Every structure is written in C-alpha cells, then in structure tokens.
Homo-oligomer: A and B are copies of this chain.
C-alpha cells in the first residue's frame, strides 16, 4: 500500500486527553481516532491489527474444537427475564425499546442468548460437550470511559460458553480453554499473568484472569516471587502474622470524648497510636439486611470477600439513616463493644488486638482499652480484608508483592446458574434428565490490542510483534529523480508480487520525516531504498526493535525478508 493513497494520519504531538502510552501511540500512529467520549473509529491500519488479533483468536478457538456463531447484538428482554437478569443487570446495560414495544438489551454479554440456542439444539449426552463462541460487538454504558479502547462503551469481545454433562467434563473444557488462551496471547506477542479471580455469586468454582502488567492497569494483583501464587486483589488470600502482643497487659475499658474525630487518620493523631490498634467498623446492607464488618485500622475491607462470606447477591455501604438505626449514633462512631443487635463479621486480624480503640456507638465518643472476648464476642470470623504488598503468601508464607494489570481475558467455571434458570435438560446415558454445567470464556479484543502496545513500545513509537503488525514490512523510498522513484517502485512491486503486505512510503517528504513516521507506526522490519541503494545496489534492512541494520542485494531481498518475518504459528 502506497502511503500517498492510504489514510494513516500520524501525529507529532500527544493527544491532550490520552494519559496512557497505548492510547497516545494508537492515536499518534494513525490506528484509531476518537469519535465521541469512549467511542473510537478504527482507521485502516488499526483495523488490520484488530483483524490479525481476531484471526489468531478464531484460529485457536477453532483448533480447540469450539464452534463459531453470530448472535444478535440486540438481545430480547425475554431471554434476560428467563434468567432473572433483566432486573439485576444494573445501569451498565443499555436497554432499548422498539416501535412495537419489544424490549432489548444492547448486549454486554451473551450467556442467555447462547444458552437459549444451545438448549434448542441439544437433547442427549451425545450432543455434549460443546463449546460455542462468537467474536462480536458488545456494549456497556460506562459512566467514565477511559484509556482509549481499554474501557469504552462499545467493544469487540470473543465470548465462549461450554456445556458439559458433569464437573469432570467442565474441568476438561476449562483446561482446554486455559491452554487455548495461553496460545492466543503468546501468538499475539503478549506476556500475560494468569491470576486467580473471584468467582462471585455465580456459584462458580474456578476462575482465572489473564492480566497484562501495566502501571495504569485498573486491577491490582498479588504475586508471590517464591511459589508463584498469583491472584487478583479482589480474591487474593494472605496468611495472618501471629503477633499477639502477649507482653501487653489488658487495660480497663474506658470511654473517651472524641469530638469531631472520625477517620482512622484523625484517630491515629488523637490517640497517638498505630493504625492496627483501631477496630474499624462499617455498616453494610447485604441484600438489604444490615451487617457490621470489623477490621483493624491498617486494613481495607474487601467487599467481594464479605459478600461471598455472607452468600449475598449484592452488598453496599449502608446509608446514614441505616447506620444511625443500627448503632444509635451518627455515622463515624460505630463499634462492636457490647455486641450490637446486628450480624457482625470480624476479620481474622481483629482477634489479635490488645487494648484496641473503637467507636462507642455514641456521638463523639470512643472506647479505648478494648479487648476481644472480654468486650465483644467474635462469632462470625473470616478473611474480609484485601491483601496488599508485603502480606504473606497463603501457600508458602513468603511476602508477596503488588502489580497493576489490565485484564485481557477471563475463564470461568460458571456452574448451572443459566442452565437451571433457563431449564436446559439433556438425557444422560441412563435416559435420566440432567442439567448441563457451563463454563464461560472471554477475551477483550480491543484492549488486547491496547495491551500489546503497552508492552511493545519505546520513546519513538510502537514496536509491533510481527504476528499482529499492520503490514509485513515498511518500505521507505528516498528517491529524487524519476528514475530513482521508478527503481523504488520496482522493489515495491517485487515485494508485493512475492506475497508481502508492504506499507510503501512514497511521499515527497524528507527522509527524517519518513523515519520518524516509521518509528511511530512500528512495523518490525523496515527496508530503505535510498542513497546506498542507488550507489551500490544494496537495500538497507533495519529492525525496529534492536535498531540492527544490514544491507542486502536486490536479488536476495525477498528471501531475506521471508527469513526475517517468519512467524511461528
């Protein structure tokens, strides 16, 4: 493709609204352009990269035996009502009504749609296992779209759903997808970190996310350098350090005036005490019932862990009125002393506190000298706090470290939530009706592209892995006379005729401008037909990544290019 006939509008300056490197470079290299907040146009070279990623995904999914479908993007509300999710999906799901009064979701996911179609085509254990997938547009009403195509309102997903007879079958399907995902990301040149993830209230058991390390990642990962334990913070466990301050003598419980002292920070100052002495007590509504969660002041409550412990469908911080009703005091003075009449869940760390400080359930009052067992009873005890860097690995006990990550894929044992609610039945070998068990498997296609750019760039631009590069090679012609131009054109045609997909910079601009653009665009192999060629007949080959160059005779060019851009599939 001649640049003079192409649309690849490179920009010298960073777009003002792009805070992360992939967003900046994808705009600057002419891959995407913003249409409106959270909405992007893929320009021709951007679409080529997207297509290459999609092809890799498709090839590997097909290789795994999965069958490709295409579902409507407008999915009927009837389907969502069958599963019960029409009422629970929340405001992130776009809903729309047509002129005939039919309701639809602009689907953010397709569990229901796939379950319905699979239900209509299977009847016997002989029809299973089956894994069905699509690569299609999805929609999410993001309140704050950001990071270019990493979090946008419209995006392309590969979503797959496996149906098996039993747990053993599901485990097999799940492991096949696990391998498939590794291959997909590997072929995309993407180094991913598979981490344990929360299975939530889906009733699932195993769940793994494929993360790409990135300083701007929205997810926090806990990693153990020793044994390899890796988990999303929402799910990560950690070992409690036994630190019972045995040396410290129990003091008497004492009530203290603390006017206007509410936050842990205020309390640390007021009492001149370390954070872990405080018993932070928060009131939640779990499926509308009040619950108090108590953790030490140095810890953050992990709402997902709390929700899972309670087996609740939803959890949210209680509004002020509910807090006042439970504690009899204004917000900011809750505490467990004297056992309030509300279900209370204690983090494992609370038991270790000696002479703690906590709210007195009275305005502007705190207790000090608080001791578990004596001053309150621990009945419900669980891990309800988030692990953080430095915490001990739950497997080997060595300290873990934190990393930020972008989630590009997710595999998940889904269980029977949809097959049960949507009444999917097949006959087993004995002719008995059974309910198949599902897994689901997603890849965010656009954010995979962003993640590749996050991982492959330098200060001059993108450095594409060959497998997803928009073109095979970038040919730069630095020709002045007509005859020189015609020489460069000949090499362009020779490369095309040999089957290469060539981006040919045939513009009448300075060499420096062309080189800067080539660095920005980031095609791994660059060929230069310039001075040296017109002198000694050798074409300069330059690798974008290492900067290594070599000079190759015209007659050997095609063969050498073929060697250099070989891609392992």
Residues in A lying within 8 Å of B, measured CB to CB: 4-7, 9, 33, 35-37, 39-44, 46-47, 50, 65, 67-76, 78-79, 91, 94, 96, 98-100, 102, 106, 113, 116-117, 120-121, 126, 130, 132, 137, 139, 141, 143, 153-154
Query: Can you add 11 more A-B contacts, CB < 8 Å, to A35-B117, A41-B69, A72-B154?
Result: A5-B65, A6-B67, A7-B130, A33-B120, A35-B71, A35-B76, A36-B76, A44-B68, A73-B154, A74-B139, A98-B141
Contacts A47-B68, A99-B91 given: A74-B153 contact, CB under 8 Å?
yes
The answer to whether A7 and B137 touch across the interface, beta carbons within 8 angstroms, is no
The answer to whether B113 and A41 touch across the interface, beta carbons within 8 angstroms, is yes
The answer to whether A37 and B102 touch across the interface, beta carbons within 8 angstroms, is yes
Q: How far is the CA of A102 from the CA of B4 in the complex (A)?
A: 37
Q: Which residue of chain B has its CB nearest to the CB of A67?
A: B44
Of B70, B91, B98, which is within 8 A of A94 by CB? B98
- The 14 listed contacts between A and B (C-beta, < 8 Å) are A5-B65, A6-B67, A9-B120, A33-B120, A35-B117, A36-B76, A36-B102, A39-B72, A41-B69, A41-B117, A47-B70, A50-B70, A96-B96, A99-B141
The answer to whether B113 and A35 touch across the interface, beta carbons within 8 angstroms, is yes
Smallest distance from the beta carbon of A494 to chain B beta carbons, Å?
20
Of B41, B70, B106, B143, which is within 8 A of A72 by CB? B41
Enumerate chain B residues within 8 angstroms of A153, measured Cβ to Cβ: 74, 98
Q: How far is the CA of A121 from the CA of B31 in the complex (A)?
A: 13
Enumerate chain B residues within 8 angstroms of A4, measured Cβ to Cβ: 126
Q: How far is the CA of A50 from the CA of B70 in the complex (A)?
A: 10
Q: How far is the CA of A96 from the CA of B50 in the complex (A)?
A: 27
The answer to whether B47 and A69 touch across the interface, beta carbons within 8 angstroms, is yes
Contacts A76-B36, A99-B91 given: A121-B7 contact, CB under 8 Å?
yes
The answer to whether A67 and B132 touch across the interface, beta carbons within 8 angstroms, is no
Smallest distance from the beta carbon of A220 to chain B beta carbons, Å?
26
The answer to whether A39 and B74 touch across the interface, beta carbons within 8 angstroms, is yes
Enumerate chain B residues within 8 angstroms of A37, measured Cβ to Cβ: 100, 102
Enumerate chain B residues within 8 angstroms of A40, measured Cβ to Cβ: 72
Complex A-B, nearest 10 residue pairs according to Cβ-Cβ distance, in ascending order = A36-B76, A42-B70, A39-B72, A9-B121, A44-B67, A47-B70, A98-B141, A99-B141, A41-B117, A72-B154
Enumerate chain B residues within 8 angstroms of A100, measured Cβ to Cβ: 37, 143
Q: How far is the CA of A44 from the CA of B68 in the complex (A)?
A: 5
Q: Which residue of chain B has its CB nearest to the CB of A46?
A: B70
Q: How far is the CA of A75 from the CA of B139 in the complex (A)?
A: 13
Q: How far is the CA of A120 from the CA of B40 in the complex (A)?
A: 14
Smallest distance from the beta carbon of A246 to chain B beta carbons, Å?
54
Contacts A41-B70, A73-B73, A137-B73 given: A96-B106 contact, CB under 8 Å?
yes
Enumerate chain B residues within 8 angstroms of A73, measured Cβ to Cβ: 73, 137, 154
Enumerate chain B residues within 8 angstroms of A50, measured Cβ to Cβ: 70
Smallest distance from the beta carbon of A253 to chain B beta carbons, Å?
48
Q: Which residue of chain B has its CB nearest to the CB of A139?
A: B74
Q: How far is the CA of A100 from the CA of B36 in the complex (A)?
A: 13
Q: How far is the CA of A70 from the CA of B46 in the complex (A)?
A: 9
